[in-house]
Chains A and B, each alone.
Chain A
Amino acid sequence: MRKLRQLQEVNAGSMADIAFLLLIFFLVTTTMDVDTGISRSLPPPVEDDTQIDIRDRNIFKVLVNSADMLLVEGKEGSLSTLKDETKYFMKNPNNDPNLPEKKLEFIELLGEVWISRGVVSLKNDRGTSYDMYIRVQNELTAAFRELRDELSVDKFGTRFYNLTDDQRKAIQSAVPIAISEAEPEDIGGK
């Protein structure tokens, strides 16, 4: 009897090919890029012109002009030395009266540590290139990162990156990222 023949099976041989095709499409369109960048937090806007008094010795002035040149503490500076200068300023190892004050404070997990009151004041022109600005920010970030690393190696024997959350908080309060950006001002042209 012909009618009782088994149901014809669909040929699934080309299924793999179709799947391959789709797979290749998604492989090509997938972008696995992770967004990276330098994180910063902006200060809240100031309502009135309240001047925050910071002693002059506590401020590390970094100026970038429209020709991408650096002025560090009143002298012409360069990117290659900016990091070390910042670190030296923040640490003030010889208790120089022209460098920032330090305060002995007790922080949990760390004990008594000297906390620098130094603030890096970064000011740029409207004509500064973004590339230069990022490079300066990068050097300043590197300086603070190294300061944190040094302290955590000293206290915990390992880099800041490897610390637990509590230890990180302690280090962060001992070495806060004190980079202040001045209110914008028009100095040069656009």
Chain B
Amino acid sequence: MARFRKKKAQGAQRINTASLPDIIFMLLFFFMVTTVMRETTMLVKIKLPEATEIQKLERKSLVSFIYVGEPVRSYLYGTESRIQLNDQFATVADIQEFIAREREARDEVDRKFMTTSIKADQMTRMGVITDIKQELRKSGAFKINYSSRKGAVKQN
């Protein structure tokens, strides 16, 4: 009869961890796919203004950004608001070319959905913004978005 005696469990049962790497890999791939590496290095400091009536920017691949703000290296470039397009400083006169290039890079079907997002620091003077808007009108980029954060709006 001793033959059928059950062996007593020795200590706690070990959990099988063989599938742990698979789970981790799954998570890993998820993050790898969703990660968007920042492709532009910011040359200007931007603190976005706050607003409540904001909308999400859809179809990010169709959005071109114009950054306006005080240069990060203000000891080199001064504190006057500067425009940044892609990776370098630009002037208002460069905007039309920038928009034309952005348009070239997109599919013809998508061109009419293109949006220009103006990311400007809240201390920027409207003079620069107005100039940018005039240039955008001239180059036919009518859809714009004033980038802003969600937050309570101070009343005066």
Contacts and interface: CB of A to CB of B under 8 A. Distances in A.
Interface stretch (A24-32, A87-95, A102-110, A152-160): A24-32
B126 A133 contact: yes
A141 interface: yes
A6 interface: no
A134 B51 contact: yes
Interface in A72-124: 78-80, 124
B76 interface: no
B156 A78 contact: yes
A129 B125 contact: yes
Given A19-B28, A190-B125, A35 B117 contact: yes
B130 A36 contact: no
B101 to A, nearest CB: 19
Given A19-B24, A130-B124, A141 B53 contact: yes
A55 B17 CA distance: 77
Contact of B57 (A35, A139, A184): A35
A23 interface: yes
Kindly name the residue among B32, B120, B127, B144 whose own CB sees the greatest number of chain A CB atoms within 10 A.
Answer: B127
Contact of A37 (B60, B136, B137, B147): B147
Interface in B129-156: 129-130, 133-134, 136-138, 140-150, 153-156
B11 interface: no
Question: On chain B, which size bracket covers the interface?
Answer: 35 or more
Interface in B41-91: 49-57, 60, 63, 68
Contacts, number: 154
B53 A145 contact: yes
Contact of A36 (B54, B138, B144): B54
Contacts of A31: 36, 38
Kindly name the residue among A26, A34, A127, A141 whose own CB sees the greatest number of chain B CB atoms within 10 A.
Answer: A26
B126 A42 contact: no
Given A23-B27, A134-B146, A37 B126 contact: no
A40 to B, nearest CB: 6
Contact of A124 (B32, B52, B126, B136): B126
Contacts of B120: 130
A38 B150 CA distance: 10
Given A36-B55, A36-B148, A184 B32 contact: no
19 contacts: A16-B20, A23-B24, A30-B36, A31-B36, A37-B148, A38-B53, A40-B146, A41-B143, A42-B142, A125-B126, A126-B127, A129-B123, A129-B125, A130-B123, A130-B129, A135-B49, A137-B51, A138-B53, A142-B53
Interface of A: 12, 15-16, 19-20, 22-23, 26-27, 29-32, 34-45, 78-80, 124-131, 133-135, 137-139, 141-142, 145, 184, 190
